[in-house]
């Protein structure tokens, strides 16, 4: 059985990085771990080196600058080998059998499965939004920003694209999109689809990739009985406005890239306006909270 390559992009994840790498290293299958560091200044890489000692299967790639999530992952790709790759956030916890079970589920599926994700939970045990979802098309995004779904609960026209809160399936199922925090990818599919789009700095590159995998004819699998804990925001919790800026900028890029020729221009401009209005509201909220 091939060694599974695990890519972890780090930017000031603190002690969480070493904890995540340690949890992956305890896997029941052989793993090669590649930590792509985006110029961290918090000592997280030094802490990792002390933790791993001379472990031969942990490789640190120092990018020297913050290349973003997509750029950091792409920098590690040429160093990897094997038929499957796991893209994992530096603030995730996996169990010893997590990777073995995920790879088995993906390999047992049809060969047109190019990517697989699992159930991601918050520290309190609740399901984390985004680990199973529809592609957020412009109309759905507009309905979400306007919060119209609360007036028409259950109506498919106003449904949320996140499936959090809906019953979990009892077996692996196809999904339009999964979370970038945990993406198990078939190398042959990646080579056909191409790497993550570095035009996104933070957020939405996972949606972009899911869209491209689907367009290339690959299925995306969601495995509900494999669970990972994600300490969300470990790398960016102290810079919420920065994160929100790139999240909203990424959404605009995503809509322009995939829907510019499929939706009327007035609707798309309305969506762009709603996205930036939402960012402004978030920025004011975080600014006021920071100032007490």
Q: pLDDT of 196-228, one tens digit each?
A: 999 999 899 999 999 999 999 999 999 999 999
Give residue 35's pLDDT: 98
pLDDT tens-place string over residues 7-42:
999 999 999 999 999 999 999 999 999 999 999 999
What is the Cα gyration radius of the chain? 19
Domain count, the chain: 1
Give residue 274's pLDDT: 85
Decide if 64 is inside a domain. Answer: yes
Decide if 253 is inside a domain. Answer: no
User: Cα(111)–Cα(109) distance, rounded to whole angstroms?
Assistant: 6
pLDDT of 281 above 90: no
Decide if 255 is inside a domain. Answer: no
Decide if 258 is inside a domain. Answer: no
DSSP percent split of the chain into helix, strand, coil, nearest 5: 40, 20, 40
Q: What is the mean pLDDT of residues 53-58?
A: 89
Q: What is the mean pLDDT of residues 110-132?
A: 95
Give residue 268's pLDDT: 87
pLDDT of 247 above 70: yes
In this prediction, residue 271 has a pLDDT band, given cuts at 50, 70 and 90, of confident
CATH number of the domain enclosing 69: 3.90.550.60
Decide if 60 is inside a domain. Answer: yes
Is 123 within 8 Å of 46 (Cβ atoms)? Answer: no
Structural domain boundaries enclosing 178:
4-234
Decide if 84 is inside a domain. Answer: yes
User: Cα(176)–Cα(213) distance, rounded to whole angstroms?
Assistant: 10
Decide if 148 is inside a domain. Answer: yes
The structure tokens 């920098």 sit at: 75
Give residue 41's pLDDT: 94
Decide if 93 is inside a domain. Answer: yes
Least confident of 38-47, 225-234, 236-245, 253-262: 236-245
């Amino acid at each position: 059985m091939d060694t599974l390559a695990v890519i972890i992009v780090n930017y000031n994840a603190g002690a969480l990085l070493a904890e995540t790498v340690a949890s992956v290293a305890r896997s029941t299958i052989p793993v090669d771990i590649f930590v792509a560091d985006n110029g961290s200044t918090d000592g997280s890489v030094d802490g990792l080196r002390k933790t791993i000692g001379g472990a031969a299967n942990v490789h640190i790639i120092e990018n020297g600058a913050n290349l973003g999530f997509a750029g950091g992952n792409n920098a590690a790709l040429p160093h990897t080998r094997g038929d499957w790759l796991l893209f994992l956030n530096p603030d995730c916890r996996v169990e010893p059998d997590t990777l073995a079970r995920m790879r088995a589920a993906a390999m047992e599926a049809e060969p047109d499965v190019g990517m697989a994700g699992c159930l991601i939970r918050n520290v309190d045990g609740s399901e984390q939004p985004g680990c199973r979802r529809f592609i957020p098309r412009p109309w759905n995004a507009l309905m979400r920003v306007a919060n119209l779904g609360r007036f028409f609960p259950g109506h498919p026209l106003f449904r949320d694209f996140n499936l959090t809160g809906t019953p979990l399936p009892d077996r692996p199922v196809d999904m339009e999109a999964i979370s970038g925090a945990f993406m198990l990818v078939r190398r042959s599919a990646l080579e056909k689809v191409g790497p993550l789009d570095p035009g996104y700095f933070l957020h939405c590159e996972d949606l972009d990739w899911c869209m491209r995998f689907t367009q290339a004819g690959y299925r995306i699998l969601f495995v509900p009985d494999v669970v990972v804990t994600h300490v969300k925001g470990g790398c960016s919790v102290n810079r919420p406005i920065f994160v929100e800026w790139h999240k909203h900028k990424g959404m605009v890029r995503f809509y322009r890239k995939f829907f510019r020729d499929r939706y009327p221009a007035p609707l798309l401009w309305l969506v762009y306006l709603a996205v930036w209005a939402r960012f402004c509201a978030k920025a004011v909220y975080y600014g006021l909270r920071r100032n007490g």
